[in-house]
Structure 1
Amino acid sequence: MTATTRSPATSPRGISLGLTYGFLAAGGLALTALAFGPTAAVDPRALLKPMLAMFALTVVVWLVLPMMRNWAVLTRRASARYYQDFRSEPPPEWIERPARTYDNLMQAPILLYVISILMIVTAWADSVQVTLAWIFVALRAVHAAIYIGSNHLLARFASFALSSLALWEIWLRYALHAL
């Protein structure tokens, strides 16, 4: 292999797919063990803190988005024409990452808000649900930081996949309790 080629089993930064999938498997097992392990009743309002943290993350990205775009136009890394019609003279991909990150925060995290409100309204939550909510928020923060920053595909995928698993487990545990 030359210095410019790499094995198909490694990422652009040399992290192996095996290592990534090993991390995903270990993380998935840990989340599943947590989801079906011992628990304690808690006040469902404990879910307000992870909800507020998720909202705070969204606000931070929401503020970074116009700052990045304005900076890019002022430093001539992007054309103001692009922001008039979103077709002419597209900027480099990295300039629009905060916008795509913000879009991502308008998707799956909505399901955290919905299930948290359901648990508060029905007055049922336990320590595992709250822990899984915090794990979801933390992994979405990691995902946002990776996406806006290095955009390392395998790390971004791992944080997305594990955050999704945490959210699915919250919903599954609630459904099993409700039924």
Structure 2
Amino acid sequence: NPPAWGNVTGDDLEFLELKNMGTAPIDISNWTLADGVEYRFPTATTLAPGAFVVLAEDTGRFQSRYGMAPFGQFGGRLSDGGETIMVRDAFGRTVLSFAYADDKGWPSYADGAGKSLVPADAAAAGDPALAGSWRASTANGGSPGADDPLPVLVNEVRFDALTLQTLAVEL
């Protein structure tokens, strides 16, 4: 859930994204999102390997905030308290279905504190139903259309007390 921006609330900036983690294009024509949010992908929609498709609750406000146009606008809202996300293919078969929450180990900063819920490891396809497969985004508002960068961790600073100079910073 992104932070409020100007006179726009974080709920108005909600987005979700799908990423093709495979090595071949995926035809997502007429795939649907169901349950908490609703969307049907148009005919002739293909997701290239490594590519993202971003859907927003309000495309105009999203574009103003992030400087990019989302692929489309979904109906409904993403619940801050958790809900089920379901993706079905053009034949109605469930491709992905999982529930997220705002307790029991789920990242608390992604629950109204300005962070987005992102995969803990962008390179691995963990079980999306497990809280440990997710983390709060590094930046407020997330990084729609791109993998979220891992936070930088400073684990050592070398300082010379005689000269009052920093000698090295280890990341």
TM-score bucket of the superposed structures, by smaller chain = under 0.3
Instruction: Report which of the two has the higher share of strand.
Output: 2
Larger RCO (CA within 8 A; separation ≥ 6) = 1
